[in-house]
Structure 1
């Protein structure tokens, strides 16, 4: 049974190393997704209701995370990343406290945060940080651990553990409903274990396990649903979560090129850990029948199913869904190898293994660290922009786009950007419409019509259309461009896109 233990000196050293790795990423730039989440969270802070006043197809969890981060530390790169670092450090401590008895050697057990959270930071660029798949690793692990703890528990203790597991699972669903597949794999495993292995009565076992889980899951969902009902916006939330996703999937096709790019990124960054994790799967699960290893393995299998079901996107950051189970299994693999390595007369094989494991990761971290030092730790606005430009080449040009409408004499008011939401961030302005201008390729036909109505009603003084979204608009709904050309005139053309000013 895995139990909670105290931290030792090596644990504290590892946590400090994780903090240092995370600090390197504090000034990292926003990518389009992060700028969009930040925009939605900022509008929430200004009193707008999500989905009713600011619409996106994603569940509210990610916007709530950015809302908390921005409120506590500021709605900028450092504020959002600082909150994420605190979140990840807390996660690291939880991993250390809960997983000690899963490993035979305590020195190996102390490495768990490095091979999970540490690796996450090292492999992540601007596009990957603070994405849903990265943040959800913490509650998914808690759900898995609580489920496992309930295996050997009985009565009231088992009820409480499963209730908590369901509650955490409900929080996971607030980030993405499709993660239910992973959660169900955990809960079905305990059900099958109790019925098949422990030979408990089917009906009683089903009630004893499913009832507390269901109650737990419903608590956060009912709270969030009550919030939207209070603001008379539950109908649009229902459409957003239940009606729109199947329609979007039905209109999309499996993009094999995205799939290949995503798999390639994943293997390039996680290959050493995967190879060592295979050792753990073989010895800990197939050979020793470890239930905890089985749950981690199921996380990976059903996580892959979750990614494939999102065949309209298949982005690189989706594979961050695996950094927790693969990191833990890789640590377990090292734990298995440790006995054999200690018996060798020469330390050379051990050193070679560690070198091969950490070489790709350490070289990436060194490059990031050197860039930070060369730019005076990004302490000033100028040095920070130079540092950010290394990791997102487009950042200065987006900054200049925002500066263009921030000059003296510029028209005031909210704007509309069909393209990168970073322009909102740099300009200090918000979105004039309810519907977004980001990821237009996923719009349904009726949403294009609604967007024209919202633009006509809000009359933003400026509209910016990026060249890539412009091609999407021409293909899917050219009437939008006709509307813009009728009501607006071209103010400026740049390498990024076209600025329009209201006539």
Structure 2
């Protein structure tokens, strides 16, 4: 049994090591840039602003301080988290009736698929990172219900785990409510809820103390409550985004989902309480994902419960191999075909990892080729940044209306607190604040590119007219690389809207 455990962990470790040199996507580049700025003394929400809760920035800051502020460091800390999840699953699943063999192999269905089929924009997002605290909240909640002793301690731990999840994303607070509701016993409801609340409050208290200590109550309320209510409406997306992301993730996770359906079917007449809670977890994940921006990385918050049912499905097939040989072989054939289908988009990346799996870690050229393969912007990054690296380039901060990859790679500070990357979510108040920050801290250069195939110029012209006015009056064309266009400050920025236009007589 020890060999099975080690083998499963080794498979996750190998897949994770092969993913270390993979590039950061746009969101992740922004997280790393903000974490690095915080490490250099900037204050989150006041000096630098993003709509996320502080958990993801804490994670990236820890990665940077431990291993360096770069993509490999982020992926390395993520690998440690994933290995911890794999070990925890192996050690705790016997509590739910899993055999030692099934528990030993559980990481193959719950953790390994992430590294095999995750796209660039999936890696190191907060949803896959939350698999560990979500599962710990799930497990401790069930232990609290079933335990005859130390029930309060288990609920205390469950509340703390659920708090960690919400520190990463406040929208995921319903997970904690769900785990609490389905783990409470009628005769101990008040005591159970009190213990859970105490653990929740204890985990949140350092964050709240930090908010109060830096007088950030107004900024935090606006960022966590007010802005999300308007951002979803401002960034309204066509239904094609939902169908595209669902189709993409469905393809990637199809073999695991197929085994999960077998597991659910096999236990349909004898669902245990933990199975009901796991199904509720997966269903709630779908609801919460649909309430957001429909990107495919959001679906990773449901992969642990689906993976657990996939383990049950594999067990059911193994138990019926002799009695229903044809059915089992047919089912395995379908799963195998789905696995080939899921891995097909990643075949070039996987093939290039062999016969030398460490080449992309040891050789800069190989790593650059991998990054360009997964994110074309990296292949054109030198030409994109040439204007900033020229001997006669102007010093000073920049504004990037486009991928934060450009911001991070530029080595320049962001002018103002609001990143241009969020252009599609900004309302009229935020655009006015953006114009104000451009007047108070005029960027030396402005880059206008694309995000998810949509030019940021569209949002400047339709919503950010005050900012567009500043660009038209005070900035001139500097370069036009394939990824977008650069503007350089060529005149003073007027401190009052329309002041320069009135002074020069320009229309």
Pairing 1:496–2:483 present:
yes
Picking from 168, 175, 196, the partner of 1:175 is: 168
Picking from 295, 300, 321, the partner of 2:301 is: 321
Q: Note the 1:39-54 alignment, pairs <5 A.
A: 39-54=33-48
Whether the 8 Å contact between 1:262 and 1:319 is mirrored in structure 2 is: no
Whether the 8 Å contact between 1:103 and 1:335 is mirrored in structure 2 is: no
- Which residue in the other structure is 2:404 paired with? 421
- Which residue in the other structure is 1:124 paired with? 118
Deviation at 1:161, TM superposition (A): 0.3
Q: Deviations over 1:461-484 (max 9, x none)?
A: 111112511111101122211101
Pairing 1:335–2:315 present:
yes
Whether the 8 Å contact between 2:12 and 2:107 is mirrored in structure 1 is: yes
Q: Deviations over 1:224-275 (max 9, x none)?
A: 0111211122210111111111122344546311111121112212222222
- Which residue in the other structure is 2:394 paired with? 411
CA distance in 2, matches of 1:372, 1:338: 32
Pairing 1:88–2:91 present:
no
Whether the 8 Å contact between 1:146 and 1:164 is mirrored in structure 2 is: yes
Point out the more displaced range, 38-47 or 105-114: 105-114
Q: Note the 1:460-471 alignment, pairs <5 A.
A: 460-466=443-449, 468-471=455-458
Taking a change above 3 Å as real, the CA distance of residues 358 and 247 of structure 1, as seen in their structure-2 partners, is closer
Q: Deviations over 1:147-179 (max 9, x none)?
A: 011111245x11000011001111100111111
Deviation at 1:384, TM superposition (A): 1.2
Whether the 8 Å contact between 1:186 and 1:298 is mirrored in structure 2 is: no
Picking from 359, 363, 373, the partner of 2:340 is: 359
Whether the 8 Å contact between 1:372 and 1:378 is mirrored in structure 2 is: no
Q: Note the 1:374-389 alignment, pairs <5 A.
A: 376-389=359-372
Point out the more displaced range, 358-367 or 376-385: 358-367
Deviation at 1:99, TM superposition (A): 0.9
Picking from 349, 352, 356, the partner of 1:368 is: 349
Taking a change above 3 Å as real, the CA distance of residues 342 and 139 of structure 1, as seen in their structure-2 partners, is farther
| Secondary structure of residue in 1 paired with 2:190 | helix
CA distance in 2, matches of 1:38, 1:491: 27
Taking a change above 3 Å as real, the CA distance of residues 280 and 373 of structure 1, as seen in their structure-2 partners, is closer
Q: Note the 1:67-466 alignment, pairs <5 A.
A: 67-102=61-96, 104-154=98-148, 157-191=150-184, 194-195=185-186, 200=187, 205-251=188-234, 253=236, 255-284=238-267, 286-310=268-292, 313-343=293-323, 352=333, 355-356=336-337, 358-361=339-342, 363=344, 366-373=347-354, 376-466=359-449
- Which residue in the other structure is 2:496 paired with? none
Taking a change above 3 Å as real, the CA distance of residues 279 and 374 of structure 1, as seen in their structure-2 partners, is closer
CA distance in 1, matches of 2:259, 2:181: 27
Deviation at 1:101, TM superposition (A): 4.6
Deviation at 1:425, TM superposition (A): 2.0
Deviation at 1:64, TM superposition (A): 1.0
Report the aligned-residue RMSD.
Answer: 2.2
Gaps of 5+ in 1: 1-6
Point out the more displaced range, 361-370 or 467-476: 361-370
Point out the more displaced range, 398-407 or 122-131: 398-407
CA distance in 2, matches of 1:307, 1:431: 30
Q: Deviations over 1:168-226 (max 9, x none)?
A: 111100111111122212111123xx23xxxx3xxxx3211111111111122221011
CA distance in 1, matches of 2:168, 2:189: 27
| Secondary structure of residue in 2 paired with 1:174 | helix
Whether the 8 Å contact between 1:104 and 1:335 is mirrored in structure 2 is: no
Taking a change above 3 Å as real, the CA distance of residues 308 and 354 of structure 1, as seen in their structure-2 partners, is closer
CA distance in 2, matches of 1:244, 1:305: 20
Q: Deviations over 1:375-427 (max 9, x none)?
A: 94352322211111111122122342123312323222221111111112222
CA distance in 2, matches of 1:396, 1:416: 21
Taking a change above 3 Å as real, the CA distance of residues 254 and 358 of structure 1, as seen in their structure-2 partners, is closer
- Which residue in the other structure is 1:3 paired with? none
| Secondary structure of residue in 2 paired with 1:144 | helix
| Secondary structure of residue in 1 paired with 2:409 | helix
- Which residue in the other structure is 2:495 paired with? none
Whether the 8 Å contact between 2:160 and 2:196 is mirrored in structure 1 is: yes
CA distance in 2, matches of 1:459, 1:351: 61
Whether the 8 Å contact between 2:248 and 2:296 is mirrored in structure 1 is: yes
Deviation at 1:354, TM superposition (A): 6.2
Picking from 487, 491, 501, the partner of 2:474 is: 487
Whether the 8 Å contact between 1:39 and 1:430 is mirrored in structure 2 is: no
| Secondary structure of residue in 1 paired with 2:448 | strand
CA distance in 1, matches of 2:235, 2:344: 38
Whether the 8 Å contact between 1:66 and 1:80 is mirrored in structure 2 is: yes
Whether the 8 Å contact between 1:399 and 1:423 is mirrored in structure 2 is: no
Pairing 1:475–2:462 present:
yes
| Secondary structure of residue in 1 paired with 2:320 | helix
